[in-house]
Amino acid sequence: MLSALLASIGYAGGIIIDKMTLSVFRVSIKSYLVLLFTFLAGVTLVFLPFLGDVDSSFFTNFPYILLFILMLVVAVTYNILSSQSLQKENLHEYELIMLLTPLATIIFASIFLPSERDWGVIIAGIIASLAFLASRWRRHHFIVSKNAKRTLLAMTLIAFESILIKGLLDYFSPAALYFARTSLIAITYYMIYKPKNFSVVPLKHKSLIFVSALFGVLQMVLKYYGFSELGVIETTILLLLGPFLVYGFSFFFFNEKQHAKNDVFCAVVVVMCIVYSTLAR
């Protein structure tokens, strides 16, 4: 449980720094993706001597090798789709669709992971996801354009990747799986974008991306530990705390308008669902 809670903090820190890097300093998405995944792999590499276990039987298990390849294809695809969506679509529309990710993850887990079929926890997860969605829904128009299909596909792939990761954790430790994933994604993006010179990215911007990578490793590796120890559904419920931390930070430091009463109510609902799912386990 502590792992998932710390992952929420990692999520909040990463989102805040990404907002500054991409929105305030306007670093190009191509440079950002290549640098970010390179830094993610580099930071995770430090922990491999202590946390990088891999079951050698994985390399002779063809179905799981296909599962690993599918995970890479899914991750590379949804990151590109997400970047294109941010460039071409209305940000409010994009954010609205991405809010469906926790709900989609819980539905996928209940379908594809028999070990996760505790209906009390599933219902608690759905309620928490709907409470979270309700806290953000009023800030958006309900109209969704035809271009939203790209974002819907990205959201679906993000949710589906959690199921693939859960399966691969049978053979990889969380740190080893995350390193393999990020390093191969970094290589793939490098081959796709063929960046010629990173010197055009100022050092202070690279430093921000590196800090974002630190938060990213904190979030994702601990999220993987949550998947391994708690399961996908309960970890997803716990991770719903992350966005509320972001909204609280933006209220106190960026003076962004919040609907405080509704946000507090929704946060209480999420916490109650967390307590229930923890006690039910």
pLDDT tens-digit profile, the chain (281 residues): 555 556 556 555 655 665 666 555 566 777 778 888 999 999 999 989 888 899 999 999 999 999 999 999 999 999 888 776 765 655 556 667 777 888 999 999 999 999 898 888 899 999 988 887 877 665 555 555 656 788 889 999 999 999 999 999 999 999 999 999 999 999 999 998 877 766 667 777 788 888 888 888 888 888 898 899 889 998 898 888 766 665 665 555 545 555 556 667 777 888 788 788 777 66
- Residue 133 is predicted with a pLDDT of 80
Helices of type H across 169-230? 174-193, 203-229
Beta bridge partners of residue 127, listed in sequence order: none
Check: CB of residue 36 under 8 Å from CB of residue 213.
Answer: yes
Using CA atoms, how far residue 244 sits from 126, 132, 221, 237, 267, in Å, is: 17, 9, 21, 12, 7
What is the amino acid identity at position 252? Answer: F
The rounded distance, in Å, linking the Cα atoms of 108 and 102 is: 10
Secondary structure in 3-state letters for the chain: CHHHHHHHHHHHHHHHHHHHHHHHCCCCHHHHHHHHHHHHHHHHHHHHHHHCCECHHHHHCHHHHHHHHHHHHHHHHHHHHHHHHHHHCCHHHHHHHHCCHHHHHHHHHHHHCHHHCCHHHHHHHHHHHHHHHHHHHCCCCCCCCCCHHHHHHHHHHHHHHHHHHHHHCCCECHHHHHHHHHHHHHHHHHHHHCCCCHHHCCHHHHHHHHHHHHHHHHHHHHHHHHHHHCCHHHHHHHHCHHHHHHHHHHHHHCCCCCCHHHHHHHHHHHHHHHHHHHHHC
Q: How far apart are CA 77 and CA 120, in angstroms?
A: 33
**pTM for the model:** 0.82
Contact 80, 135 (CB under 8 A): no
Q: Of 8, 24, 37, which Cα lies nearest the Cα of 209? A: 37
* Sole residue written with tokens 């009463």: 261
pLDDT of residue 46: 92
DSSP string covering 184-201, please?
A: HHHHHHHHHH----GGGS
Domain that holds residue 170: 2-280
Tally of domains within the chain: 1
